[in-house]
Amino acid sequence: MSCRIEDYALIGNTQTAALVANTGAIDWLCMPRFDSAACFAALLGDASHGRWLICPAEGGARVRRQYRGETLILETEFESDSGKVTLIDFMPVAERGGRVDVVRLVRGDRGVLKLRTEIVLRFDYGRVIPWVRARPDGLIAVAGPNAVALRAPVRLIGKDFTTVGEFSVGQGETIPFVLTWYPSHEREPPARDPLRMLQETETRWQHWSKLCTARGATRDLIIRSLITLKALTFRQTGGIVAAPTTSLPERIGGQRNWDYRYCWLRDATLTLYALLSSGYLTEAKAWRAWLLRAVAGHPSEAQIMYGIAGERMLPEFELTWLPGYEGSRPVRVGNAAHNQLQLDVFGEVVDALYVAMKHGLKPDANSWEVVKAMVQFVADSWQHADHGIWEIRGRPRHFTHSKVMAWVAIDRVIKAAENFHVDGPVERWRELRTRIHREVCERGFNSKRNAFVQSFGSDELDAALLMMPLVGFLPATDPRMLATVEAIRRELMQDGLVQRYQTSSGVDGLPAGEGAFLACSFWLADNYAMAGRTAEARELFDYLLSLRNDVGLLSEEYEPASKRLLGNFPQAFSHVCLINTAYNLERGLEAGESPAVCRATR
């Protein structure tokens, strides 16, 4: 059985990533890319579906872990009366080529400690047992296109389709394990010095982290979230995955189990805000290049998500042989939501490109033509029903948030024309901006509820409406927004956290129930700050920070009753919102002032 979601830490190489439990087990790893089939899939089943364990041979050891400084190098300490060791886990940053390395160093710190390792390699998400050959320095495992070489100075033996070994580590010793994936039709890559790889990896992360412009009391939590976002970036293309996992449930035992190993335009855009605010213009350039390649073609064919190299075909299917995380089935690969119309993404993309321009990333002729084409599509389509920000798998509706983001697309293109002298029919855009704003205020506000509602003509609330002040549609001090915030507090807030919408009726065609979506609670904190309720904003922000696990990571949702993180992990969306709220509170917003996520409005 896998550990709790919050018991995992992340390591990665900006090409793929692994989840390491506080037990010393790697329970999830896809190679060579984020979206490749897993070779360790115990996260969605048990050890028989693939894992790599290194831990004390006897139970009862005390465990403590942390990241080494401002890096993605994980250090897990195991200590007993007889000795203490540190397990150092990392993945060297990927270079162009066909290999992926996972390095695990066991360093003796005190006394002597006996440890054991168990390696269960299962390709294709736990379904395929590879052909394993032992050799003096480790083993080689091959199945289909995949080959893995394990090098270690430890005697390993095969037992019941599992490779096991026991070894002792004394003070001053370091026992290295290096797992290398490579295409099975190619020659095995040469061995690399694991200690040198450690030094190179630490130097690269330290250099990247020093570029961060965040200062003050919030730097530590901002840089940890930024490192997480960088780890979710596919270095070769600039695409940013929403999370490195699939099918971690929004409710234990439920069916809301989705594959998040793709690039949502919405998530990647919000990630850009956090990166640009922190001084990372290079990532913005890479993402803009990825975006222009991905959306090339007619805007009507633009998708809400793409593969990490811009792939459009993301067919969804189920892995029936996996029992799911704590029995949460089905386990899904692919994501059928890529075919949905979600009008809000056009606003987010245009907004991001405008923010990039404000930070010095000037538009070229090609990118500006893409922006104009998107804006024209919004002008032609903003009155259509869509599936909304939450990708509800039911009938399309006229979601209020979607109309607001259509307004954002028009507003930002006007500001780009005004501030950067790019061409376009500005007067026509201004008329359209006014028209959309008027219609949202007339049809999206329910006077009987005294609040903006989820869709035109409905009575339902939606936490996405908290974004309205954040994107500059209305001030947070507007009476309609103040009333909407209070309605959301009253009806969508449970145990101090905000739910996306009422799921008691199974509104999206699936059984009801999910945890509190963490991004929504960060948005509420931003609204508090913008309305001058600074003490409440800081109180909520501190509570959200307390939900991070011991190494500073957040998933998509949280269940207060069981005090557990839920959903895919770690989640870019949650960390982006943490960064933006931290900046907002650090700046000390005055009532009515725009927050960090809304710098495009100024």
Predicted confidence (pLDDT) per residue in 487-501, tens digit: 999 999 999 999 999
Q: For the chain, where do the domains classified as CATH 1.50.10.10 start and end? A: 214-601
Residue 293 CA to residue 378 CA, distance in Å, equals 20
Q: Which residue has the higher pLDDT, 2 or 178?
A: 178
Of 15 and 159, the structure prediction assigns the larger pLDDT to: 15
pTM, whole model, 2 decimals? 0.94
pLDDT in tens, 358-380: 888 877 777 788 889 999 999 99
Predicted local confidence at residue 397, as pLDDT:
94
- pLDDT of 43: 98
Band of pLDDT at residue 505, cut at 50, 70 and 90: very low
Q: Is the pLDDT assigned to residue 292 strictly greater than 90?
A: no
Domain with CATH 2.70.98 in the chain: 5-185+192-206
- Per cent of the chain over pLDDT 90 is 77
Mean pLDDT value of segment 334-363: 86
- Least Cα distance to 476 among 602, 594, 596, 600 occurs for 594
Sign of the four-CA dihedral 258, 264, 268, 269: negative
E strand or H helix at 251: none
Residue 601 is predicted with a pLDDT of 38
220 compared with 589, residue with greater pLDDT? 220
SS3 labels along 468-508: HHHCCCCCCCCHHHHHHHHHHHHHCEECCEECCCCCCCCCC
Please give the pLDDT value at position 97: 62
Question: What is the C-alpha to C-alpha distance for residues 492 and 480, in angstroms, rounded to an integer?
Answer: 17
Query: Please, which pLDDT band fits residue 352 given cuts at 50, 70 and 90?
Result: confident
What lies within 8 Å, CB to CB, of 227 at 6+ separation is 67, 70, 71, 72, 205, 208, 209
- What is the average per-residue pLDDT within 381-396? 88
Q: Are 505 and 574 in contact (CB under 8 A)?
A: no
CA distance 412 to 371: 10
Is 453 in contact with 400 (CB distance < 8 Å)?
A: yes
Strand partners, 174: 107
Beta bridge partners of 53: 25, 118
Q: What is the DSSP letter of 259?
A: B
pLDDT of res. 99: 92
- pLDDT tens readout for residues 105-144: 999 999 999 999 999 999 999 999 999 999 999 999 999 9
What pLDDT band is residue 159 in, cutting at 50, 70 and 90? confident
**In the chain, what percentage of residues exceed pLDDT 70?**
95
| pLDDT tens per residue across span 313-331 | 999 999 999 999 999 999 9
Average pLDDT score over residue span 17-30 = 98
Whether 214 shows a pLDDT value over 70: the answer reads yes
Beta bridge partners of 101: 180
Tokens encoding 236:
């070769």
How many residues are there in the chain?
A: 602
What does the alpha-carbon distance between residue 247 and residue 292 come to, in Å, rounded to a whole number? 29
* pLDDT digit string, tens, across residues 544-586: 999 999 999 999 999 999 999 999 999 999 999 999 999 989 8
Identify the bridge partners of residue 122 per DSSP, sorted by sequence position: none
Backbone angles phi, psi at 103, to 5 degrees: -115, 130
- What is the chain's alpha carbon radius of gyration, rounded to the nearest angstrom? 24
Q: 5-185+192-206, which class in CATH?
A: mainly beta
Count each helix (H run) and each strand (E run) in the chain, helices first. 14, 26
The CATH code of domain 214-601 reads 1.50.10.10
The alpha helices in 4-97, defined as continuous H runs, are: none
Please name which of 189, 317, 147, 181 lies closest in space to residue 247, comparing C-alpha atoms: 317
Q: What is the pLDDT of residue 596?
A: 52
In the block, tokens 């949650």 appear at 574
pLDDT at site 337: 83
C-alpha to C-alpha distance for 222 and 334, rounded to whole angstroms = 31
| Nearest one of 188, 169, 168, 170 to 178, comparing CA atoms | 188
**Res 510: pLDDT:** 45
Does residue 511 surpass a pLDDT of 50? no
pLDDT (tens digit, 9 = 90+) per residue, 437-459? 999 999 999 999 999 999 999 99
Cα–Cα distance between 561 and 565 in angstroms, integer? Answer: 11
The least confident of 41-45, 69-73, 279-283 is 279-283
What gap in Å lies between CA 398 and CA 408, rounded to an integer? 16
Q: Note the helical H segments in 131-242.
A: 194-210, 219-231
**CA end-to-end distance (rounded Å), the chain:** 51
Q: Is the pLDDT of residue 80 over 90?
A: yes
Summary mean pLDDT of the chain:
92
Can you give the pLDDT at residue 600? 39
User: Which of 129-133, 152-156, 418-422 bottoms out in mean pLDDT, i.e. has the lowest?
Assistant: 418-422
Between residues 342 and 344, which one has the greater pLDDT? 344
Tokens encoding 462: 């939606």
Cβ atoms of residues 355 and 599 within 8 Å: yes
- Quote helix, strand, coil % in the chain, to nearest 5: 35, 25, 40
Identify the band that residue 52 occupies on the pLDDT scale cut at 50, 70 and 90: very high
Q: What is the pLDDT of residue 503?
A: 66
Backbone angles phi, psi at 438, to 5 degrees: -65, -45
- Look up tokens 């405008």; give the residue: 354
Q: Which residues contact 301 (CB under 8 A, 6 or more apart)?
A: none
Task: Find out whether the peptide bond into 244 is cis, omega within 30 degrees of 0.
Answer: no
- Tell me the CB-side half-sphere exposure of residue 66, using CA atoms within 13 A: 4
